[in-house]
Amino acid sequence: MNQTDEKSTLRRLLDARYVGVLATSKADWPYANLVAFAVPDNISEMIFATPRQTRKYENLSANPKVSMLIDDRSNDIEDLKEAVAATAIGKAVEVEGPERDRCLAIYTARHPHLHDFAHSATTAVFRITVEKYIMVSRFQNVVEITA
């Protein structure tokens, strides 16, 4: 698979999935959560929202380094051979002002059912600046894609 095919496979995966597993950490303890995410045309960023009164928000405030796992598994035994998983590695920052508006537009276009949640005063909107994706397919085929 060449770089164009790899990016195409990654883009299809990102477009097909609405929820990923966000990993944060504080004091060296990892913490994982399901989050709804959106990815603009440029795969170098991911957007998600979270209430400010959460452990996830506390972790993000203490340590912006995150990873997000997106996969296409179906909970079938064939997933070990057939599933594709991508881990985005980057830094998350809470966005404000015009940048928040831009990110909210992308997020709510992908998740219109979350409009009220995303626009709530108690909700923080984060943008992950993705450094790279590590994509695994066919159980052991691992490629790194620079965002």
Of 53, 48, 42, the closest CA to residue 94 belongs to: 48
Residue pair 45/27 in contact by the 8 Å Cβ criterion: no
* pTM given for the model: 0.92
Structure tokens at 9: 């496979």
Where does the pLDDT of residue 3 fall: very low under 50, low under 70, confident under 90, or very high at 90 and above? low
Average pLDDT, whole number, for the chain?
93
Hey, how many other C-beta atoms are within 10 angstroms of the C-beta on 100? 18
Q: Which residues on adjacent β-strands are paired with residue 93?
A: 127
Instruction: State yes or no: pLDDT of 1 exceeds 70.
Output: no
Percent of the chain with pLDDT over 90: 78
Domains of the chain: 3-146 (2.30.110.10)
For position 147, what pLDDT does the model report?
83
pLDDT in tens, 82-122: 789 999 999 999 999 999 999 999 999 999 999 999 999 99
pLDDT in tens, 47-65: 999 999 999 999 999 999 9
Of 90, 132, 113, the closest CA to residue 36 belongs to: 113
Of 8, 146, 1, 18, the closest CA to residue 71 belongs to: 18
3-state secondary structure of 45: strand
Mean pLDDT of 130-146: 90
